[in-house]
Amino acid sequence: MYDTGKVLIGILIFILVFTSPMLINLSGGKASVKANPVLPKSGKCIESKEYMKGYHMEMLDTWRNLVVRQDVRFLKKADGTFFMLNGVKAEMSLTKTCMSCHDNKAKFCDECHNYLEVKPYCWDCHIDPAIAKKGVKK
Amino acid sequence: MGIWFSLVAVAALTLLGLIGANVSGLNYVFAVVIPYIAIVMFIVGIIVRIVRWASSPVPFRIPTTGGQQKSLPFIKQNRLDNPSSYLGVLGRMALEVLFFRSLFRNTKAELKEGPMLTYGANKWLWLFSLAFHWSFLIIFLRHFRFLTNPMPFFVPLLQDIDGFFQIWVPLVYITNIALVIALAYLFFRRVFDSKVRYISLPSDYFPLLLISGIAITGILMRYFFKTDLVAVKELMLGILSFSPSAPSEALSTWFYIHLLFVCSLLIYFPMSKLVHMSGVFMSPTRNLANTNRMVRHVNPWIDDLKMKTHTYEEYEDEFRKVMKGAGMPLDKEESHVS
């Protein structure tokens, strides 16, 4: 082999770059940490767990468009009747409807979002109701 | 011909992925065993290729690169195209690797009415190649969000920049669109340009189709047929921390096809033209400073051949009689050794 020194440096860089996921995982010691969202103890969600896992963001997007752009505020079931929540018509609202059961943002939303480095821009405008109740200190 | 062969090959891989996803006994093989095989074959294969390249001697520097070489002080040297220093070589290599400088010089010869042969600049190939390679790199780096925990610093950064337009849910990434458009250009260039089609081989179509397959299944999974990303990440973290777990039932068929495509690409990479990823660094016209006359370059295989120097004096000694007879001028009339 010619120019052995330089070629070996190149091979070393190649190995480091392409094994970097393994090196990060092994040195970080957090590879076995799993996302563990805490589900509400009682109550039934408006959609199935499988649907919600994949498509909740699309549902929220549809809700936003309906509420903000068409002034359609209340959530209907497939048969056309309104969805009721604690005796009143449920709004198409993340904070008022979803988070009335899933009331812990950190232990529910953030678990998977942080695990997968998802930064939804919901929270650019909305605020975690639990924090809103306590009052925000600036 | 090459197109059909490549299409069939990619279709066969898709079918294989379908089988791997839906025959539960094979899930482990396709989700864990094949990825490990692919990673090992990729890394070992690339190293073998590099060592093989490095074993061939490069006897002399190549001065005929585009640009004025270092000459007399009043002649301006082109330091980046024809460097004579180590730094210049680094600059030339960086321009080549990051911006495809030699492809930027690409020209196109066309026979027009007349008949008239015309040569013109053709930057489209350069533009779409650049778009393709950079998009692919950024997409690869963004995938670290499925591959590592803790998250490397560049993942959120790339996601923010790439999803800058904030359209669609989930956000559309600029690189996703650029990759698909660039792949379409690179593929249809080979299909519709008869001159390029004539010289295209299955090994030209296959990688394009395979990478298109990866891109399309990835985009479908992100925007249309959702898979369980938490299960994906748990699987990948298991593999990449050497403690693989049994693949979750929640992994979708799309994911298995996507993963099999990626594994196929990794396995195919070192034995195909795609090794230009490492080969570009070994290009003699890019990585050697033009120091032909400034430095003495000894033929690297001179020891292997046990070659001895044969000076002009010795040559004259050998042929003195004949040269004298032919009336040729001699340095010495008599042998200097005798």
Lowest mean pLDDT among A51-60, B50-59, B233-242: B50-59
Of B42, B160, B241, the CB nearest to A26: B241
Q: Which residue has the higher pLDDT, A17 or B64?
A: A17
Which residues, other chains included, contact A126 with Cβ-Cβ below 8 Å and sequence gap of 6+? Answer: A94, A95
Q: What is the pLDDT of residues B172-228, one digit of tens each?
A: 999 999 999 999 999 999 999 888 999 999 999 999 999 999 999 999 999 999 999
Q: How far apart are CA B57 and CA B74, in angstroms?
A: 35
Q: Which residues in chain A have Cβ-Cβ distances shorter than 8 Å to B58?
A: 2
H/E stretch holding B116: strand B116-121
Q: What is the pLDDT of residues B117-147, one digit of tens each?
A: 989 888 999 999 999 999 999 999 999 999 9
Q: How would residue B332 be classed by pLDDT, with cut points 50, 70 and 90?
A: confident
Q: Which residues 89-118 on chain A approach chain B with CB closer than 8 angstroms?
A: 112, 115-117
B43 vs A54: CB contact, 8 Å cut-off?
no
Our CA-based measurement puts residue B64 at a distance from the nearest CA of chain A, in whole angstroms, of 22
B54 vs A58: CB contact, 8 Å cut-off?
no
Q: How far apart are CA A92 and CA A74, in angstroms?
A: 6
ipTM comes to 0.91
Report the Cα A72 to chain-centroid distance in Å: 25
Q: Which residues in chain B have Cβ-Cβ distances shorter than 8 Å to A53?
A: 226, 228, 230, 250
Per-residue pLDDT, A73 = 92
Domains of chain B with CATH codes: 2-304 (1.20.950.20), 308-338 (no CATH)
Q: Does A65 touch chain B (CB under 8 A)?
A: no
Write out the two tokens for B243.
């403690």
Our CA-based measurement puts residue B252 at a distance from the nearest CA of chain A, in whole angstroms, of 11
Of A25, A31, A121, the CB nearest to B166: A121
Please, are residues B270 and B46 in contact by the beta-carbon 8 Å criterion? yes
Arithmetic mean of pLDDT, B257-263? 97
Residue B252 has pLDDT above 80, yes or no: yes
Strand pairing class (A84-85; B116-121): unpaired
Per-residue pLDDT, B237 = 95
What are the distances in angstroms from CA B246 to CA B39, B178, B243? Answer: 19, 35, 10
Q: What is the pLDDT of residues A4-32, one digit of tens each?
A: 999 999 999 999 999 999 999 999 888 88
Arithmetic mean of pLDDT, A34-54? 89
Tell which residue, B162, B301, B133, has the closest CA to residue B222.
B162
B54 vs A26: CB contact, 8 Å cut-off?
no
Residue A61 has pLDDT above 60, yes or no: yes
Per-residue pLDDT, A136 = 61
Residue B92 has pLDDT above 70, yes or no: yes
Per-residue pLDDT, B335 = 64
Of A34, A50, A60, the CB nearest to B234: A34
Arithmetic mean of pLDDT, B258-273? 97
Residue A138 has pLDDT above 80, yes or no: no
Please, are residues A23 and A12 in contact by the beta-carbon 8 Å criterion? no
In three-state secondary structure terms, B13 is helix
Residue A128 has pLDDT above 90, yes or no: no
Q: How would residue B43 be classed by pLDDT, with cut points 50, 70 and 90?
A: very high
Lowest mean pLDDT among B28-37, B86-95, B286-295, B297-306: B297-306
Q: Which residues in chain A have Cβ-Cβ distances shorter than 8 Å to B238?
A: 31
Q: Which residues in chain B have Cβ-Cβ distances shorter than 8 Å to A35?
A: 230, 233
Count contacts between A and B (CB, < 8 Å).
102
Our CA-based measurement puts residue A2 at a distance from the nearest CA of chain B, in whole angstroms, of 6
Per-residue pLDDT, A80 = 85
